[in-house]
Amino acid sequence: MKKLIALSAVIFFILLAAYFTACNNNSESQAKEDSTDSLQKVIAHGEYLANHVAVCIDCHSKRDLTKFSLPVIKGTEGNGAGFPFGKEDGVPGEVWAPNITPGRLKDWTDDDIAKAMTHGVNKTGDTLFPIMPYYGYNRMAKEDLYAIIAYIRNLPSSDNAVPARKLDIPMSMLGPLPPYGPEKNVKPDATDKIKYGEYLVTMASCSDCHTPRKPNGMEFDFENAFAGGFIFNTPMFKVTVANISPDSTTGIGAWTEDVFIAKFRNNSSDEVVNRDAGKMNTVMPWSMYGKMKEDDLKAIYAYLRTVKPVKNLVEKYPK
Ligand code: HEC
Ligand code: HEC
């Protein structure tokens, strides 16, 4: 809360300065109103990113297993996951996405949260298992990073605690952490569609699922980025990750931009009850990404056209 006040104070003074230089109007109360508006805008931007692009809320909330694409159960946003990531997700053990509401993060500074998000080290100094996508978030521009932090600081508070993680390997096996330094990142201009699309794909961790793994099951095979093939063998259903490289027969090379966007929109409902008694389901968070802004989806499409086409035929629902 203290930090939030500090943040809003900073924004207030920036706005105040801008206000006096820009419009020659000395009304202080007007400036105060503008600063509240501007903080609301930052939070709304963070809400959009945390729900529909970086999908923090997808992992850090309880999910409805009876519905298509396991939408978030309303009222549990940020309270912590209802089930752990495990072997079926390529995790050697069990890892739970913790509560990230103010009930749990109240003693964390913005810097503590930013470090967990982009450097993979939490307030107690533990290295986070990289199912938490901090390698990708490491490339997030500061304005987006801090908008997300402002949003999670404003989530309804919960005291929910998740079980401690259990890993079969030491974290030291996982290699070096990405360096901390959110200042270094610049957000590409949205008019540079391909660069901006790459930025969004990185923030949305598409590659974490869509890039195949090497035989050890842990490392990514970036030579074949976006070619799919990993099988999520969950207790409820089995689904293979799609090939979204631009190969025209086995990937999405033949898809037009309209087809691509329609696919996201048609799957974006939170209310589609499972087809086929829960067997034909997916871990692709359609209900979250499906509400992404049109221009953002277009940029993602534009970027995905530029990656290497890889021939890799996958069977969506393997036996
Ligand atoms: C793919 C799932 C996933 C996504 C997406 C995700 N997280 Fe996480 N997050 C996790 C898991 C799992 C952990 C715990 C890792 C561990 O215990 O080793 C975690 C840990 C954290 C922690 C550290 C909490 C603690 O108590 O140590 C913070 C803070 C956090 N995430 C914030 C975020 C934010 C903010 C976003 C969105 C920008 C986000 N996470 C997106 C899965 C995810
Ligand atoms: C948690 C894992 C996961 C993440 C993250 C993820 N996907 Fe997927 N995606 C899947 C799986 C599994 C499928 C196949 C089943 C399905 O169609 O839902 C899939 C299917 C798709 C399809 C349909 C392809 C086809 O041939 O029908 C598209 C397009 C797609 N993903 C794009 C994306 C993009 C773009 C991102 C990032 C914004 C992304 N995915 C992030 C798991 C994921």
| pLDDT in the model for residue 26 | 53
Does the structure show a pLDDT above 60 at 80? yes
Give the distance (Å) from ligand 1 centre to CA of residue 60: 7
| pLDDT in the model for residue 246 | 98
Nearest to 58 by CA among 81, 83, 84, 85: 81
Domain boundaries, the chain: 188-319
Q: Please work out whether the CB of residue 31 comes within 6 Å of at least one atom of ligand 1.
A: no
Whose C-alpha lies nearest to ligand 1, atom 43?
Answer: 132
User: For residue 85, which atom of ligand 1 is closest to its CA?
Assistant: 12
Q: What is the pLDDT of residues 22-47, one digit of tens each?
A: 444 456 778 788 888 899 999 999 99
Which residues have CB under 8 Å from 133's CB, separation 6+? Answer: 54, 205, 208
Mean pLDDT over each residue of the chain, to the nearest integer:
90
Mean pLDDT of 230-236: 90
User: Can you say whether residue 78 is alpha, beta or left, with left for phi > 0 and alpha for psi between -120 and 50 degrees?
Assistant: left
Give the distance (Å) from ligand 2 centre to CA of residue 141: 24
| pLDDT in the model for residue 12 | 37
Contact 197, 301 (CB under 8 A): yes
Give the distance (Å) from ligand 1 centre to CA of residue 172: 19
Q: What is the pLDDT of residues 195-223, one digit of tens each?
A: 999 999 999 999 999 999 998 877 899 99
Nearest to 250 by CA among 273, 229, 270: 229
User: For residue 289, which atom of ligand 2 is closest to its CA?
Assistant: 38
| pLDDT in the model for residue 30 | 80
Q: What is the pLDDT of residues 37-78, one digit of tens each?
A: 899 999 999 999 999 999 999 999 999 988 999 999 999 999
Residue with tokens 């030491």: 170
